[in-house]
Amino acid sequence: MKNGKRMAAALLLLTVLLVTVLVAGDQFQDVPLKQNTGGSYPDAQEDLIVVGFSQLGSESVWRTTHTDSIREALSKENGFFLQYDNARQKQENQIKAVRGFISQRVDYIVLSPLMEDGWETVLTEAKEAGIPVILVDRKISGADSLYTTFIGSDMEAEGRKAGEWLVQYQKKRGKEDEPLNIVMLTGTPGSSSQLGRSRGFYEVAAEHPNWKFIDLASGDFTVIKGREVMGEFLRRHRKIDVVVSQNDEMTFGALEAIQNAGRMTGLPGSMIVISFDGMKEALELVADGRINCVVECNPRQGDVVARVIKRLEAGEPVGKVYYVREQVFTRENARDHLAGYEAKEAE
């Protein structure tokens, strides 16, 4: 962007948000990035890359960690000027934010889309304005030509990992052929995380006719809704063998409902609990035996975003998809990973 263009973008920014230091992934090693907490109006003489970032909301600790990771990586010290917008779980807010970024003529738009559908019109406007769009965390349906790349998790793979873990867990117990009554707390309907994790788990379940889905409802990725939905499941069903909860926040609520109902998890003969994300509190519950399995969803995507933009600035090709590294946590490895959390907190 020319200096005059940067000055216009800067003058339209009303507030500057401080960023939090987080250690992000290392998928790219060719562009060094600094750790810092800087943030200020760009000087007209500086050659900063102006980025508009539309985050879908702040519904969970995972989401705020994801936001902080991107804000840290796209800092002034790393050569960026970031304009951030929190859509507060409303797609219309995101569309408005993207149009605002287009009118401000930012260099790049980073978008974490609430829903998969409904983006074609506004992203066409971005393309016509010559502004590359980078999707993070969640995907959109179709319209592949309207965004440059996607950076995030393979949600279907996460769902398959959860199903495959359950297969192996039942085999180890010698119960692979026994019937399983399964309930599922899904995320925000229509989001790529809800759709992908559901598809992946169903793909594995289809190979096991003894698995029966007895109930399913959306918990909107929140503790409160997770507690409410699980309470309904417990009132409707006397025998629940497996609880699949599509994020840790819903799982925390579900565990409250289970405890309030006088039921147990994690112990032989009690409910099996599978969760997604890998928050510290969830891993502590895995280590304590209250959650059986957590499939990681890595929120630290900021460094990858920054490095992709630097490649685009240099005129280098980038891939259409970048998946971050993730793993499955069980009682056997949860404490080792928690030690890593504690080491980072001590720094």
pLDDT digits (tens, 9 = 90+) for 43-76: 544 689 999 999 999 988 999 999 999 999 999 9
Q: Which pTM does this prediction carry? A: 0.80
- DSSP annotation of 187: -
Identify the three-state secondary structure at position 84. strand
For residue 321, being part of any structural domain is answered with no
Tell whether 175 and 94 lie within a shared domain.
no
DSSP sequence for 95-119: HHHHHHHHHTT-SEEEE--SSSSS-
Tell whether 168 and 140 lie within a shared domain.
no
For residue 344, being part of any structural domain is answered with no
pLDDT of res. 328? 97
pLDDT band at 35 (very low <50, low <70, confident <90, very high): very low
Beta strand residue intervals within the chain, DSSP E: 49-55, 80-86, 108-111, 133-137, 149-152, 180-186, 211-218, 242-245, 272-277, 293-296, 321-323, 328-329
Q: Is pLDDT at 171 greater than 70 in this prediction? A: yes
Q: Which domain holds residue 244?
A: 155-296
For residue 345, being part of any structural domain is answered with no
Average pLDDT, stretch 304-313? 97
Q: What percent of the chain has pLDDT over 70?
A: 84
Mean of all residue pLDDT scores within the chain: 87
Are 52 and 81 contacting, i.e. CB atoms less than 8 angstroms apart?
Answer: no
Tell whether 207 and 280 lie within a shared domain.
yes
pLDDT of res. 131? 98
Q: Which amino acid is at 318?
A: V
pLDDT of res. 94? 98
Tell whether 35 and 123 lie within a shared domain.
yes
As a whole number of angstroms, the distance between CA 243 and CA 140 comes to 28
Q: Is pLDDT at 197 greater than 50 in this prediction? A: yes
Are 301 and 70 contacting, i.e. CB atoms less than 8 angstroms apart?
Answer: yes
For residue 291, being part of any structural domain is answered with yes
Domain count, the chain: 2
As a whole number of angstroms, the distance between CA 126 and CA 147 comes to 9
Tell whether 136 and 252 lie within a shared domain.
no
For residue 185, being part of any structural domain is answered with yes
